[in-house]
Structure 1
Amino acid sequence: MKSSQALRLFGLFNVCIASAVQPSTKLKNATADPMFQLSSDEDFHFELLRVLSLAPYEGADIGEVLVAAKKIAAGDFESFYDAFYDLATQVDETARNIDKDKYPVSARNALFRASSYYRSADFFLHGNWSDPRINSLWDKQLNAFDTANSLLPVPGKRVNLQARDGNFTVPAIFFGTGLTGPRPTILMCNGYDGSQEEMYHLIGKAALERGINVITYEGPGQPTVRRGQNIGFIPEWERVVSPVVDFAIQHPEVDPEAIGLMGYSFGGYLAPRAAAFDKRIAAVFAVDGVYDFGKSLLDQFPQELKDIFYSGDADTFNSVIEAAVADPSTKTVMRWGVQQGMWSFNIDTPFEWLTKALAYNLTEVADKIKQPIFIGDAQLDQFFPGQAKALADAVGTNALYRYFTADEGAGEHCSIGASVLQSQVMLDWFEDVLSKDKE
């Protein structure tokens, strides 16, 4: 490709991204957005809010995060790492100095927080796959989380489940309520960039408080499987979920007729996809719903660049995207999104990544989802705007579509920052579904 054409396309792409063409993003940048912004970088604001959202369920402390936030320069990935690594090590050291036999709750609180902060320190590092911090930080977060977990009244139990086709294993954690008799159980997975440990704080603990067992798990492309087994995402998520259902129904603590399946963020595609093929699942949560992942990515590109992609001109497409990702002036959502996408899909080029992404859609599967399904949507969703409503429309009458608004403090992607409200709405719905099934 001629350099002049490359520069023109690069400029066109950056103008498109910077103009925030999605209606939700326009609202975010307008005075209509009622939330205080934690960073002038929209995506840093979201990630800071994401950590804060873990505070109600033992995953963070507000003051600590706000002190770290003040040290972060907008758009500077290394400053984000520095701030959270310093915080993580500080809190981890405090935790290790607590006598956990004498003060188990205090030690557990600090260790869970340290684990969250190590995960945040890792978040923007995936552009360089050889960066040793990608693995060292994960080891630290797992160690902190597992030590904290051991101090729970009913510790979660880690297991590794064999996929039915045998070429990967599924790491999972069974969190039991400690109550007698078979209980409702929710299987929970995160999405494009999140861990099963985060799911415990986002909604797992809220479910346990309501007498609902929780099984968190990860599949290909997600943090532990990507690191430990070097496997990227697969579209056939039923290959991941069915072994978890097999595992769940073997437990006397689990009511086999009351199994829910929850997916967060990109998990809003993964969970509905699996539910279409495993009818042992009684209810599904897509938070937020994703109908056509690949299309939602390409919709953010200018038409001329989409034309180049569909023409199959990989060299031109890659050169434009790689130039954009390398330019610090490009919006964080683009730089991080491509880097994380290639890392989590285990793909070497943007063209390959987007080609693979097109397979992640529910266009031929949505009508096979017969279970009740809760589909969350968020007014300010900057990642998958319009996708949740499209999924709800495709699924039909068994879908409950819930639109979370900015005025509720729940308008961010996955209603991040409103975990107490979101848990109340979703878990009450689940209990109502199970009650109706028994009538």
Structure 2
Amino acid sequence: MKFTSVSLFIISCSNLVFGSPFTRKMFQKPHSIKRDNDTSPGSMLKLSSDADFHFEILRVLSVAPYQGADIGEVLVAANQIVPGDFESFYAAFNDLANIVHDYAKAIDSEKYPVSARNALFREATYYRSADFFLHGNWSDPRIDSLWEKQLTAFDSAIALLPTPGERITLQGDGFEIPAIFFGNGLPGPRPTLLMCNGYDGSQEEMYHAVGEAALQRGINVITFEGPGQPTVRRQQGLGFIPEWEKVVSPIIDYASSRRDVDASKIGLWGESFAGYLAPRVAAFDHRLAAVIAFDGLYSFGQAIFDQFGPEMTALYQSGNEEEFNSIILSMLADPATPTTIRWAIEQGLWSFKAASPFEWATEVEKYTLDGIVQDITTPVFVAAAQEEMFFAGQAELLAEKLGDLATYHLFESIDGAGEHCSLGASVLSSQVILDWFQDVIPS
């Protein structure tokens, strides 16, 4: 099949990424509230005319309830960002991070530990955000320098928690697993949630996304990263692996060995792409008491190929590697390519450590629960977002395949929770999901 331009692919992808949300309800929603006058799914104020920039600015704002950002300073930074301009996104958040770094440095952490901690947390968030759109050029030194700054700030912050966070390194199958244990200081063995981010997010972000909310409820937290995720990709040079149980089983071993962890009450929270990785773990390691797929994802490979569209999928399946690569690389070089598509491909190449788009596509095909979903025996909370922009229909498919093991919940736009992973509604989503976790673990 011969392609004379990339426009057909761009239009196909754009329709699939930005098209109508898939909102079919397959299971009773827990904690649902009926509104007799509901006539609209609701809509959120857009923070940028660029859909992906809106999402990423909202992502920074969404960690504000749990000390990861301050709303006003983020909105000031956002006003400096030019839609579609990756460098302007970097500059706005790097400048803000530097300003907050100076604030934090001026605080006497012994006299004002809470003030210092919160400033350091914000600093780390903003350095992470400055890095977000830089991965198209693997040799960009800012990819490492920004990460070192965010790690330094975050580590200084968690040392100031009432129960300081503990950095640990666990041994995986040919790689090391960086993790952080957050205890809540309560006596006796406690329920514990292992927390894993996804395609682009860090374990540090997970503390603000839901970790602090869990700690408030007396639940221990262990965040971690595996191959392909930010620190492991940088420090060990490893891209994603399908066998995520090789990452999580050593963490379950470690958690079970701690006297402050109740080994019968260990859950696994998977965020975004990890909405696939976490259920996969449950098919191989049956020690988990519960799994959260936030949002649910049955086949990452299918989700990616749906965004490619039928023409590019057919080209890939034909094995024409040269032409497939040529079209994708031409798209990346075209300033008219939507940010969501450009970023998704650049991040995919970087996080999978793929030498070409064809190699990346070959890798993502492996990420499906086909043939193993029947081995899952653990209760799974399957979250869905009404305006899901990345994995439309996947949560519904996962819930259907899991059957009675699934608790399906649609987070709705009218509640400000309809974005992917309910960004902007972390208090609501934490309430719904953590209440479920507390109900489902053994009493």
- The CA deviation at 1:303 is 1.9
Q: Name the structure 2 match of 1:15.
A: 11
Q: Name the structure 2 match of 1:48.
A: 57
- The CA deviation at 1:19 is 3.7
- TM-score with structure 2 length normalisation? 0.94
Q: Are 1:375 and 2:392 matched, yes or no? A: no
1:111 aligns to what SS in structure 2? helix
- Once the two structures are superposed, what CA deviation does each residue of 1:42-73 show, in whole Å capped at 9, x if it has no partner? 00000000000000000000001100110000
Query: Which of these residues, 43, 53, 60, is aligned with residue 69 of structure 2?
Result: 60
- Once the two structures are superposed, what CA deviation does each residue of 1:97-147 show, in whole Å capped at 9, x if it has no partner? 111111111010100000000000000000000000000000000000000
Structure 1 unaligned blocks of 5 or more: none
- The CA deviation at 1:422 is 0.3
- Once the two structures are superposed, what CA deviation does each residue of 1:299-327 show, in whole Å capped at 9, x if it has no partner? 11232221110001011011111111111
Query: Which of these residues, 331, 339, 347, is aligned with residue 340 of structure 1?
Result: 347
Q: Name the structure 2 match of 1:262.
A: 269
Structure 2 residue identity aligned to 1:63: G
Change (3 A) 1:21 1:70: closer
Partners of 2:165 and 2:367 lie apart in 1 by 31
- Once the two structures are superposed, what CA deviation does each residue of 1:190-217 show, in whole Å capped at 9, x if it has no partner? 0000000000000000000000000000
- The CA deviation at 1:17 is 2.9
1:243 aligns to what SS in structure 2? helix
Partners of 2:301 and 2:22 lie apart in 1 by 22
- Once the two structures are superposed, what CA deviation does each residue of 1:304-360 show, in whole Å capped at 9, x if it has no partner? 221110001011011111111111110111100000001000111111101100000
2:270 aligns to what SS in structure 1? strand
Kept in 1: contact 2:385–2:411 (CA 8 A): yes
Structure 2 residue identity aligned to 1:208: L
Q: Are 1:245 and 2:252 matched, yes or no? A: yes
Q: Name the structure 2 match of 1:181.
A: 188
2:124 aligns to what SS in structure 1? helix
Partners of 2:354 and 2:130 lie apart in 1 by 23
Query: Which of these residues, 216, 225, 239, is aligned with residue 209 of structure 1?
Result: 216
- The CA deviation at 1:283 is 0.3
1:92 aligns to what SS in structure 2? helix
2:369 aligns to what SS in structure 1? coil
Query: Which of these residues, 278, 282, 287, is aligned with residue 280 of structure 1?
Result: 287
Q: Are 1:119 and 2:159 matched, yes or no? A: no
- The CA deviation at 1:363 is 1.2
Structure 2 residue identity aligned to 1:69: A
Partners of 2:22 and 2:180 lie apart in 1 by 40
Count of residues in correspondence between the two structures:
427
1:259 aligns to what SS in structure 2? strand
Partners of 1:119 and 1:347 lie apart in 2 by 22
Q: Name the structure 1 match of 2:164.
A: 155
Q: Name the structure 2 match of 1:403.
A: 410
- TM-score with structure 1 length normalisation? 0.95
Q: Are 1:412 and 2:412 matched, yes or no? A: no
1:351 aligns to what SS in structure 2? helix
Partners of 1:329 and 1:130 lie apart in 2 by 24
Partners of 1:21 and 1:350 lie apart in 2 by 19
Change (3 A) 1:33 1:75: farther
Q: Name the structure 2 match of 1:298.
A: 305
Q: Are 1:195 and 2:202 matched, yes or no? A: yes
Partners of 2:238 and 2:165 lie apart in 1 by 25
- The CA deviation at 1:368 is 1.2
Q: Name the structure 1 match of 2:90.
A: 81
Structure 2 residue identity aligned to 1:87: L
Partners of 1:26 and 1:291 lie apart in 2 by 15
Q: Are 1:391 and 2:432 matched, yes or no? A: no
Partners of 2:176 and 2:218 lie apart in 1 by 28
1:171 aligns to what SS in structure 2? strand
Structure 2 residue identity aligned to 1:52: L
Using CA pairs below 8 Å that are at least 6 residues apart, which structure has the higher relative contact order? 2
1:179 aligns to what SS in structure 2? coil
Partners of 1:22 and 1:369 lie apart in 2 by 32
Q: Which aligned pairs between 1:84-163 and structure 2 lie closer than 5 A?
A: 84-163=93-172
Structure 2 residue identity aligned to 1:101: E
Kept in 2: contact 1:324–1:330 (CA 8 A): yes
Kept in 1: contact 2:190–2:219 (CA 8 A): yes
1:59 aligns to what SS in structure 2? coil
Q: Name the structure 1 match of 2:37.
A: none
2:413 aligns to what SS in structure 1? coil
Question: Percent identity among equivalent residues?
Answer: 60
Partners of 1:254 and 1:19 lie apart in 2 by 47
Q: Name the structure 2 match of 1:221.
A: 228
Kept in 1: contact 2:324–2:358 (CA 8 A): yes
Structure 1 residue identity aligned to 2:426: S
Larger deviation, residues 10-19 vs 196-205 = 10-19
Partners of 1:323 and 1:23 lie apart in 2 by 24
- Once the two structures are superposed, what CA deviation does each residue of 1:256-291 show, in whole Å capped at 9, x if it has no partner? 000000100000011111111111110000000110
1:160 aligns to what SS in structure 2? strand
- Once the two structures are superposed, what CA deviation does each residue of 1:207-242 show, in whole Å capped at 9, x if it has no partner? 000000000000000001000000100001000000
1:276 aligns to what SS in structure 2? helix
1:47 aligns to what SS in structure 2? helix
Partners of 2:78 and 2:99 lie apart in 1 by 15
Kept in 1: contact 2:120–2:153 (CA 8 A): yes
- The CA deviation at 1:79 is 0.3
- The CA deviation at 1:96 is 0.5
Partners of 2:270 and 2:21 lie apart in 1 by 23
Kept in 2: contact 1:24–1:385 (CA 8 A): no
